Structure 1
Amino acid sequence: MNKLTMRSADLTQDNIDKIAELFPSVITESRDNQGGIRRAIDFELLKQELSHFLVEGEKERYQVTWPGKKEAIVNANSSIEKTLRPVVQDSIDWENTKNLYIEGDNLEVLKLLQESYLNKIKMIYIDPPYNTGKDFIYNDNFREPTEEYLEQSGQVDEEGNRLFQNTESNGRFHSDWMTMIYTRLRIARNLLSDDGVIFVSIDEHEENNLTALMNSVFYEENRISKITWEKGRKNDSTFYSESVEYVLVYAKDKSLASKFGKWRAKKPGYDEVMNKFNSLRKKNNDNSQIEEGMKEFYKNLPDNHPAKEISHFFRVDNRGLYFGGDISSASTSIPDYEVIHPVTQKSVKKPSRGWGCIETEMKRRIAEDRVHFGIDETTIPLRKIYLHEAQDYVLTPVIYKDGRAASMTLKELLGGNYFENPKDVTVLKSFIEYVGCENGILLDFFSGSASFAQAVIQLNAEDKGNRKFIMVQLPQKTKEDSEAFKAGYKNICEIGKERIRRASKKIKEETGADIDYGFRVYRVDSSNMKDVYYTPDKLGQLNLDDVASNIKEDRSGEDLLIQVMLELGLELSLPMESKEIEGKTVHYIAGNSLIACFDSEITETVIKKVAEDQPLRVVFRDSSFRDDSARINVEELFKLLSPSTDIQVL
């Protein structure tokens, strides 16, 4: 039997193991903080292994660096002794939903999700703190005692997560923000699928630094775009209006993202226009009457209807809808030639700038009926541009969307101004559509008011998609003088969860779509295991009571199950079922993907029934067995009844 570690993945050790396979000669030993001996890398030797010439000393090179970068790398790679605990009472449709809402420090959450969601996230959208000097950002120095931290004007939320207000008087104003973001981006990249895409909102305060970090983590060749989001004119600036935000868009692998994404879109209103055209054509073969019908159709549309943008496509021939584009050319190198009107057989009036192509090409276009002639030779011909051939266009990296609309939408949904500057759901929907994921997992680890969750649900309702969301938000306290606090929302997570509940109800009533409207809630907490589990060698005379159980007294079997799932790499949305077998509680995950029983003194009959289900993995507690002989008997039973089962204990 193997013993579970019950901690998040140690990425540093994983990296050392990978290097050891390639370059065993660079492996050495060093002492850790507890004085123990651990494998380490001799970096001077490694540099020499990777160089064709003798490496001597430091040389100048292009790199992105700042005070705190090495600390950020350590924070990203180190493991934590934390877990997620289920909060069923806050969840909606726990048994069936595939959506997740996780409360806690997003760095800890990302670490905990490393095994279960490695290379599985199709799209990430985040709206992190912009570092304006007024907002709070995460403090990742966990070595600093909480009391000392509070003395330095820090803030601790209800779960003990630590924030600080990064003011411009801070000597490491930009560096602290970069350290915080860089750590999270490194882990986020591991979660993205190979064709996955990340969108990061930012404003002018840290746009340049964020670009440098994104280039460093995702590589410059995987940059897709920088979207400019014009949110409405502001008159509070001395110079230009500070009304623009940006969204940096990067792929994990740009070549794959281009294959699966929808980076070209149909012209607005295209489908509706084509439906009208096809309807008219079925009723009438006279092209002139179809043209009159299309003109009438466009005329009766509201001014803001998207089809108005293609109302110039009203002419009709046997190929379909088209409009007449300019046929002239600014080129002086095309010789003059004569074009004959197909009806009057007279020479057609030539454009002032000349024909748009050479004579042989013009004859080909006329033969293929791709030139629109007027009623006689006095009208300059036009080039036929067909709607079905020009239906799509490259997306523009500019968005014009007034930010006040998103605030008003949230106010109407919740009944008050409970969250400042929420993101616009329609814009977020368009981002999801760009990526082209109808069935993928989407992650937002700066969830805020959960606009992104609403965008996912709304889009699923519209196109019958099966996208799943994971929202992560720190339970940051609301201010006691705020409308949110007075309305009963003690922290931001309560606002986000209520938004999802109300938005889901509204969307279901409006669309009737048969989609997933629920979400499971999890909360970051300390490990289910006592300290003795991680450091049994330090057990002293005063700790004998801990020998009775290495699991904290306030933790349930469901708590243990979630931590086991995280270590074994199982998604937190998988079906969960608990059965009673001879008075013992046995947990089943996704059928027989994992079977676990954490009760004491499990009988041989129970073990046999579990083995008969042929589980891929099975987990027990050490205390589930009376003695070593009982443990050996369990292994023999599984060898006989289910030899491929991986047996684990905690």
Structure 2
Amino acid sequence: MMDKLKMHSPNLTEANIAKLAELFPSCVTEARDEQGRVKQAIDFDQLRQELSDHIVEGPQERYHLNWPGKREALLAANSPIAKTLRPSREESVDFDTTKNLFIEGDNLEALKLLQETYLGKVKMIYIDPPYNTGNDFIYDDDFSEGAAEYLSRSSQNDDFGCRLTANTETNGRFHSDWLTMMHSRIRLARNLLRPDGVIFISIDDCESSSLRHICDEVFGENNLVANIVWQHSVQPKGYTQLFSVHHNHILCYSRSDEYVVQPLERTEKDNKNYSNPDDDPRGPWRAGDVRNALYRPNLIFPIVTPSEKTIDPPENGWRWKKATIKKKIQDGEIVFSTDESRIIRKIYLEDQSGRAPETIWFSEDVGNTRSAASELKGLFNGVAPFDTAKPLKLIDRMFQVAGLQPDDLCLDFFAGSCSTAHARLASMSPGPFIMIQMPEPIDNTKPHGKAAQNLGMATIADIGKERIRRAGNEIQNETGLHGSPLDVGFRVLKVDSSNLEDVYYRPDVLSQDLLSENVDNIREGRSSEDLLFQILLDWGVDLSLPISRQDIDGKTVFFVDGAEKHMALAACFDLDIDEAFVKQLAEYEPLRVVFRDAGFTSDSVKINVEQIFAQKSPNTEVKVL
């Protein structure tokens, strides 16, 4: 049937709502029009909160998930922080060349620091957050403090606050605190995903429904790909009055409709029902359904066989119209049974390029908690220093469904023992990853904690870093690829206070005294490499690009992404920079160059720097720190 002309001008309101829905999915809700019909609408209170740097009041009746602390979660996600990432060479492996990152610190702060550099660049995220079982530790993101506390938490001093708190069931905000913690982090994570990106989140029954509501709000409910049920255990628990629980959930959401679910490779088990009893030249086949799942009266008709017998239609009708069935019979795709009592549709093995992932993942295919513990024991001298690791095959299955390629970036911001990093290194298509884990102290009252302590590890971050080291060594030994392009290294970066003194203040505490600080604004104790990584963050340069040092005219110069002409960035933080040195550096024609603000021999040299680069390297962007 032909489409009818609209005969009216475009509905600009609907178009504007669609645009806002793309920018702010959490602001889309449902309302009733004058006729009482449900329609899509904008939650203006929520939109005001999205565009505000303080908590906005004004709830109204609407369909949405709400809890005490939701507005604080929005504020926590949107508020700026004065922090940086400081490199730790001694804890890294192949620091100068690896493309893998391990970020140690609060994952909310780490996600904020990554927003500019990795906006829309991550193909896949997997997280295994605390399940809120009544004894888990969650992050306490309190943004209601006064000026002094604000400065402290913005890292205007050197105090380091972990902000971990036990979320016991006796807490009146048991669910609310967990929701607040997760909401802000998932919102920031969405920004990092590519348009064709996808996120997987492990969770148990306790918070699975709440987490789904959060993700529906952040990603849009249309972007739910699947609610996967994973058989995490096979051993009966021995409960007498309860079900023995053998599953967890893995929620899968896409960034947009550009994501395409990737089929899994076929196995012998998948192909066992294919055979070729009639020597079909197209090879093995199996019988497929010819019935329509829905009632289609226009597809209800008899089929006449070659011997002029009649085959009655199924109750809902055939899957195809008459002309299509006739063509399939002529092509041999549909054949008749020996007694001509039914038709048989052939589904050919040669047409099956893969198999669709299913929403139930059995432990025999993807492993369980026991196999995960065994994998850890294999790395750590027969003991498991972590009690909630995930099996490598489970995460590798996610890699397959996501379609992760060797150049694609993978992120895990609840890294734990770094099962995700291990799986990435051991996968068929190893590639770059970013792991984020807070240095949460290990509970040495438990067996796994004692095991970790005996191995010299004090925090969960220590476990993760050591696992990557050991997994990398094991993979190199198994493959014999020592010194090869296989990247088993990782660059350790730690969330810390800014390298600059007093770089961020609340307007209500800004004073004239703060505007007259010393000329050199670098915080005491910070190295040139510390400054380099803050520059990379501020400029949005990939934190995993190769770094080299060169001595030019007695000055140390950092080159990022190559030492030849047109590298991504050149940086020199030495003092006594003169015009002769600047002219030599300009010969490299870097895309960006940065100096220390107090590093020039005179004000005239500082003034002339831009002019020198304008003449010798006009495409270079020049800045000072």
Contact 2:410/2:433, CA 8 A, preserved across alignment = yes
Corresponding residue for 1:23? none
Distance 1:104 1:506 in 2: 27
Counterpart of 2:370?
404
In structure 1, what is the equivalent of residue 11 of structure 2? none
Corresponding residue number in structure 1 for 2:525: 554
Query: Paired residue for 1:70?
Result: 71
Kindly provide the amino acid, as one letter, of the partner of residue 630 in structure 1. V
Aligned to 1:387: 349
Aligned to 2:275: 314
Q: Which residue does the alignment assign to 1:427?
A: 394
Give 1:167's aligned amino acid: T
What is the correspondence of 1:33-432 to structure 2 with a 5 Å cutoff?
59-141=60-142, 160-233=161-234, 234-237=236-239, 238-253=241-256, 255-258=257-260, 261-262=261-262, 264-266=263-265, 268-269=266-267, 307-315=268-276, 316-324=279-287, 335=302, 337-340=304-307, 365=328, 367-370=330-333, 383-401=345-363, 402-415=368-381, 416-432=383-399
Bigger drift between 321-330 and 446-455 goes to: 321-330
Query: What letter is aligned with 2:118?
Result: Y
User: 1:590 Cα shift?
Assistant: 1.6
Unaligned stretches of 5+ residues in structure 1:
1-18, 20-42, 51-56, 149-157, 270-306, 341-346
Shift of 1:308: 3.3
The aligned residue for residue 570 of structure 2 is 595
Structure 2 residue corresponding to 1:467, chosen from 431, 435, 451: 431
In 2 relative to 1, CA 72–58 (structure 1 residues): closer, same or farther, beyond 3 Å? Answer: closer
1:186-229: per-residue Cα shift (whole Å, max 9, x none)? 11111111111111111111111111111111111211111111
- Correspondence for 1:498: 466
- Asked if the contact 1:425/1:452 (under 8 Å) is kept, the reply is yes
**TM-fit CA distance, 1:570:** 0.5
Further displaced range: 62-71 or 81-90: 62-71
Secondary structure at the counterpart of residue 246 of structure 1: strand
Paired amino acid for 1:510: E
Give, in angstroms, the shift of residue 359 of structure 1.
9.2
Task: Indicate the larger mover: 59-68 or 445-454.
Answer: 59-68
Q: Structure 1 residues 244, 308: closer, same or farther in 2, change over 3 A?
A: closer
Secondary structure in 1 matching 2:228: strand
Matches within 5 A, 1:610-625: 610-625=585-600
RMSD after superposition: 3.6
Percent identity between the two aligned chains: 42
Give CA-to-partner distance per residue, 1:322-361, whole Å, 9 cap, x none.
2356889999965475545xxxxxx999999999899987
Q: 1:607 maps to which residue?
A: 582
2:420 alignment counterpart: 452
Where structure 2 has 5 or more consecutive residues not aligned to the other structure, the ranges are 1-19, 21-43, 52-57, 150-158
Q: Secondary structure at the match of 1:256?
A: coil
Distance 1:408 1:310 in 2: 31
- Output the TM-score relative to the length of structure 1: 0.74
Q: In the alignment, what sits opposite 2:550? A: 579
Matched-pair contact (CA < 8 Å) for 1:429–1:456: yes
2:123–2:198 contact (8 Å) kept in structure 1: yes
The residue type paired with residue 570 of structure 1 is: V
Return the letter of the residue paired with 2:107: N
Q: Which amino acid aligns with 2:572?
A: C
Determine the C-alpha separation between the residues in 1 that align with 2:82 and 2:343: 75
Following superposition, the deviation at residue 103 of structure 1 comes to 0.7
Give the letter for the 2:556 counterpart: T
Hey, what's the Cα distance between the residues in 1 that align with 2:370 and 2:531? 45
Code of the residue aligned with 2:374 in structure 1: it is M
Counterpart-to-counterpart distance in 1, 2:114 and 2:203: 25
Partner AA of 2:245 in structure 1 = E
For the pair shown, the structure with the greater C-alpha radius of gyration is: 1
Structure 1 486/512 Cα, relative in aligned 2: closer, same or farther at 3 Å? closer
SS class of match (2:195): strand
SS at match of 2:200: strand
Which residue type is aligned with residue 384 of structure 2?
Answer: N
Kindly state the Cα deviation for residue 468 of structure 1 after the two structures are TM-superposed: 1.0
Determine if contact 2:82/2:504 at 8 Å carries over to the other structure.
no
The separation in 1 between residues aligned to 2:370 and 2:390, in whole angstroms, is 10
**Comparing 560-569 and 94-103, the one that deviates more:** 94-103
Q: TM-score, normalization: structure 2?
A: 0.77
Partners of 2:581 and 2:321 in 1: how far apart? 87
Q: The residue matched to 2:576 in structure 1 has which SS?
A: coil
Aligned to 1:530: 501
SS of the aligned residue for 2:347 comes to strand
Quote the offset at 1:123 in angstroms.
0.9
Letter in 1 for 2:275: F
Question: Measured at CA, do residues 334 and 89 of structure 1 come closer, stay the same or move farther in structure 2, by a change above 3 Å?
Answer: same
